[in-house]
Structure 1
Amino acid sequence: MRVYYDRDADLNLIKSKKVSIIGYGSQGFAHANNLKESGVEEVVVGLRPGSTSTAKVEAAGLTVMDIEEAARFGDVVMMLTPDELQRQLYADVLHGSMKEGAALAFAHGLNIHFRLIEPRPDLDVFMVAPKGPGHTVRSEYQRGGGVPCLLALASDPSGNAKEIGLSYASGIGGGRAGIIETSFREEVETDLFGEQVKLIVDLMYEGGIANMRYSISNTAEYGDYTRGPRVIDEGTRERMKTILADIQNGRFTTEWMTENVAGQASFKAMRARAAEHPLEEVGERLRAMMPWITEARLVDRSKN
């Protein structure tokens, strides 16, 4: 796992560019404001006429342009509209409006990996994908930290796409936590699978399933409705009933007490195997890049 930090990025590179943020949802809000505060003087937000986000952008001291104008303006154009809108938006507006030799950027790889968008051959195409929701990208930046970002390249006609991507990621705070080099394929597969199966437990804990679905992308919400029942199906329910029955009839307690009489040999062997699993090693490294996870932790092994 190759990880880059602010020391590996030239922030002046993105500061010298005109940057167009297309969309002002959770990520658009964070990217635009973080870049501005990192010293990128020419940041604009591209919105459709009559967008309800216009007032929010202007209140933040940012410039609003219609999307076609923003596409012509940007040396770097970051696409932060919902996945399902990007293909048509690129075909109708960006393809014909973007500067020759500009860079087209994404925060999720779906449309590029599955070739729903086929960018012009003169465009650099890269991805900077923060591994957290936009409000966390913004709040961590404001407190002097950052959210780790994934960086991937799809096209590099300028020969400078990676450096621009690193600089952009640094500008939104990613270089403070770590910029992880990956591919569009890996980002898409892990992101879609992770959102559909994990179901973002913290959001559910905070406000229920409806709260979680409000907070995730439309793509992930669709995956929840259509793939969730294939994970938790009638077979799963029947197996859960069997486990509950083991508890109710005392079978589990008898098994556990027998294990203790035998000196916990099987239990300790299972614990040792689990501790050596790659998930533990990789998870420890990733959590170290996200300090906000541990600030309010329930378990502190030095105390409890």
Structure 2
Amino acid sequence: MDILRDADIDPAPLAGKRVAIIGFGNQGRAQALNLHDSGVDVVVGLRESSASAAEVAGHGLTVARVEDAVASADLVMLLAPDEKLATIYREIAPHLRPGAALGFSHGLAVHFKLIDPRPDLDVILVAPKGPGTALRSLYAQGKGMVALWAVAQDASGSARAIALAYGRAIGCARAGLIASSFAEECEADLFNESAVVWGAVPEILTAGFETLVEAGVTPEVAFLECVGELKLIAELIEARGIAGMREAISNTAELGATLGGPRIVDDGVRQRMREVLAEIRAGQFAAELQKEEASGYQRLKAARAKARAHPLEAARKRLDP
């Protein structure tokens, strides 16, 4: 696997070009600011009713109506929520320049064919592997965040060069750009969100908290033991890897992990993980995402309300200084 960094990448494909950012959320804000600070001509496309216009202008960024931003751009990055992209693409398609490039930071809309890009367009992916807040803060520190890049459609013959130049301009090539595909990036990311870091880990933390409280442990102590130490293990793994993390903790903790971990994450868990991945690859998650939007996000609203009402949150608040 090749990891490309700043010195390996020619920034020229973006020289004298304009990039339109559509979506000024977590990723859109960070990428727009990083591009601007890298000297790229960037315009943020917003609907006329958008409440973000003052914020965008306050950062010194050019603001335009979505259709005007798109019509003026050589590269249009669609950084709005995945479930909104099909509608957005239908609206902007008539305004895209012939031979322009269309970019994404997540492969879902293209991989699962929510969008069918015009054949004259380059279609690229540059996917920073972390939240936009971290992408921006790392850039400001002179550092970068690893990103995956891919090309789904190379109409001009220059799509690869454009993707790499873009990854360089948002600061990701400082850490490394790794070649991937829309399918690989999308499926791996959705799997992680469903079955590992964002799905399984919070459920395990909550289950541990509930188990201790049911056994008579005070909620605050249960929170500190089951949730409070998560940051510590994350920092150790980032610095030393999983093997190094185990070597850094006490013998007591390491033996407990060795005896208890495989009892919790057993072959049954691994089989259910395979099932989650198979469902993602079959397009079931993409279909559920569209249904969720159509319902007004009823499941997500209910899940948020349930999480806020959990005793774990009350314990956390009582521990806040």
TM-score, normalization by structure 2: 0.63
- Cα deviation, residue 50, structure 1: 1.6
Letter in 1 for 2:20: S
- CA distances 1:101-146 after superposition (whole Å, capped 9, x unpaired): 0000000000100111011110000000000100000000000000
TM-score, normalization by structure 1: 0.67
Letter in 1 for 2:34: N
Provide the C-alpha distance between the structure 2 equivalents of 1:17 and 1:2, rounded to a whole number of angstroms: 27
The equivalent residue for 2:158 is 160
- CA distances 1:25-54 after superposition (whole Å, capped 9, x unpaired): 0101111000111111x2100111121111
Classify the secondary structure of the residue corresponding to 1:105.
strand
The equivalent residue for 1:60 is 59
The equivalent residue for 1:123 is 121
Structure 1, unaligned stretches of length 5 or more?
Answer: 201-223, 242-286
- Cα deviation, residue 17, structure 1: 1.0
- Cα deviation, residue 302, structure 1: 8.8
- Cα deviation, residue 95, structure 1: 1.1
> What pairs up with 1:187-266 in 2 under 5 angstroms?
187-200=185-198
The equivalent residue for 2:139 is 141
Aligned pair count reads: 223
Classify the secondary structure of the residue corresponding to 1:78.
strand
- CA distances 1:198-246 after superposition (whole Å, capped 9, x unpaired): 244xxxxxxxxxxxxxxxxxxxxxxx5xxx7xxx79xxx9xxx9xxxxx
Provide the C-alpha distance between the structure 1 equivalents of 2:11 and 2:38, rounded to a whole number of angstroms: 8
The equivalent residue for 2:254 is none
- Cα deviation, residue 13, structure 1: 2.1
Classify the secondary structure of the residue corresponding to 1:127.
strand
The equivalent residue for 1:35 is 35
The equivalent residue for 2:148 is 150
The equivalent residue for 2:311 is none
Structure 2, unaligned stretches of length 5 or more?
Answer: 212-233, 251-321
- Cα deviation, residue 301, structure 1: 6.7
Aligned with residue 168 of structure 2, among 152, 159, 170? 170
The equivalent residue for 2:110 is 112
Q: Percent of pairs identical after alignment?
A: 45
Query: In structure 2, do the counterparts of structure 1 residues 109 and 300 end up closer, same or farther at CA, with 3 Å as the change threshold?
Result: same
Provide the C-alpha distance between the structure 2 equivalents of 1:109 and 1:80, rounded to a whole number of angstroms: 11
Classify the secondary structure of the residue corresponding to 1:145.
coil
> What pairs up with 1:282-297 in 2 under 5 angstroms?
293-294=238-239
- CA distances 1:168-211 after superposition (whole Å, capped 9, x unpaired): 000001110000000000001000010112244xxxxxxxxxxx
- Cα deviation, residue 300, structure 1: 10
- Cα deviation, residue 100, structure 1: 0.5
The equivalent residue for 2:95 is 97
- CA distances 1:65-124 after superposition (whole Å, capped 9, x unpaired): 1111111011000000000110011012x2110001000000000010011101111000
Query: Are the aligned partners of 2:145 and 2:175 in contact in 1 as well (CA < 8 Å)?
Result: yes
Query: In structure 2, do the counterparts of structure 1 residues 88 and 3 end up closer, same or farther at CA, with 3 Å as the change threshold?
Result: same
The equivalent residue for 2:22 is 22
